[in-house]
């Protein structure tokens, strides 16, 4: 498989372990159009790559992914066609990860926010440095959590806790996230690389088909729930991308101010 066309994602391979690194460190790996498009195809490409058995997903420059790029989101506001295309890519990303039978390990160092948080939580293992945080602040920017949060948070930590974070947009520290089962483990920063590498090596030397098909069996039930949520959440998010509250929030955050929502 040739990954040369990927620019916003840095791809490297060591044996049968493939590492995908979000490569916009100057923007804390915030998702712009190019990165969004690349995420909508990378997991299908990895699925077809017979040389890969294990995937590591990480970020560069001290961040995993800071969510949507504000300039990109603002450029789409009110654009019915543009927002619907973006929402379709969100659905494709989620379904591609769920369909991928090869195990994925998220290595999180720094913020994992919005879609970045969802990308991590869709992975089979999530290891994070103690300084990392996880948040799905869609409501804070006047949006519905349509790119995975409404699927994964309730499944991982239950509905009561999920409501606590999804309806407020509050962040959760990695150590607390590990304690309540949102992620696999929080480790000291200087131990993160080796912790992830050790699990990747273990999986890469395991019974490949058994691991893949056990994952597929686990995801079978998850996909039933996901299919009941993804389309509705995506549709609601698409509507909120057209509302004034979303624009108000984006403009306020650009000015480093608190948004004053109008409910419109």
Structure tokens belonging to residue 26? 């100057």
Closest CA to 41 of 66, 11, 12: 11
Asked if residue 186 lies in contact with residue 178, where contact means CB atoms within 8 angstroms, the answer is: yes
Residue 110 pLDDT level (bands cut at 50, 70, 90): very high
Strand pairing class (111-113; 104-108): unpaired
Asked if residue 129 lies in contact with residue 63, where contact means CB atoms within 8 angstroms, the answer is: no
Residue 97 pLDDT level (bands cut at 50, 70, 90): very high
Residue 81 pLDDT level (bands cut at 50, 70, 90): confident
Q: Where in the chain are the domains?
A: 9-191+200-204
User: Angle 149-157/208-240 helices, nearest 10 degrees?
Assistant: 130
- Average pLDDT score over the chain: 96
pLDDT > 90? residue 79: no
Q: Which residues pair with 148 in a beta bridge?
A: none
**C-alpha torsion sign, points 216, 218, 219, 221:** positive
C-alpha span between 230 and 199 (Å, rounded): 30
Q: What is the pLDDT of residues 145-154, one digit of tens each?
A: 999 999 999 9
C-alpha span between 3 and 7 (Å, rounded): 9
CATH 3.90.226.10 fits 9-191+200-204, yes or no: yes
Q: What is the pLDDT of residues 126-141, one digit of tens each?
A: 999 999 999 999 999 9
pLDDT > 90? residue 239: yes
pLDDT > 90? residue 80: no
C-alpha span between 39 and 97 (Å, rounded): 10
C-alpha span between 97 and 101 (Å, rounded): 8
């Amino acid at each position: 498989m040739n990954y040369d066309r990927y620019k916003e994602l840095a791809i490297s391979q060591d044996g049968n372990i493939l590492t995908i690194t979000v490569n916009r460190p100057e923007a804390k790996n915030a998702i712009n159009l190019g990165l969004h498009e690349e995420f909508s195809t990378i997991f299908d490409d990895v699925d077809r790559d017979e040389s890969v058995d294990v995937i590591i997903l990480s970020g560069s420059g001290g961040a995993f992914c800071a969510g949507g790029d504000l300039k990109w989101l603002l450029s789409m506001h009110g654009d019915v066609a543009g927002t619907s295309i973006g929402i379709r890519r969100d659905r494709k990303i989620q379904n591609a990860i769920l369909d991928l039978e090869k195990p994925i390990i998220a290595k999180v160092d720094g913020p994992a926010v919005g879609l970045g948080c969802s990308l991590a939580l869709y992975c089979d293992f999530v290891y994070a440095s103690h300084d990392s945080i996880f948040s799905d602040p869609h409501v804070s920017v006047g949006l519905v959590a349509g790119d995975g949060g409404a699927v994964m948070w309730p499944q991982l930590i239950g509905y009561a806790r999920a409501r606590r974070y999804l309806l407020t947009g509050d962040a959760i520290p990695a150590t607390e996230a590990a304690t309540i089962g949102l992620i696999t483990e929080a480790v000291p920063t200087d131990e993160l690389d080796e912790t992830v590498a050790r699990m990747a090596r273990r999986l890469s030397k395991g019974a490949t088909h058994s691991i893949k098909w056990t994952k597929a069996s686990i995801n079978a039930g998850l996909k039933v729930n996901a299919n009941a949520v993804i389309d509705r959440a995506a549709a609601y998010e698409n509507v909120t991308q057209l509302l004034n509250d979303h624009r108000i929030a984006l403009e306020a955050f650009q000015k480093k101010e608190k948004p004053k929502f109008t409910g419109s």
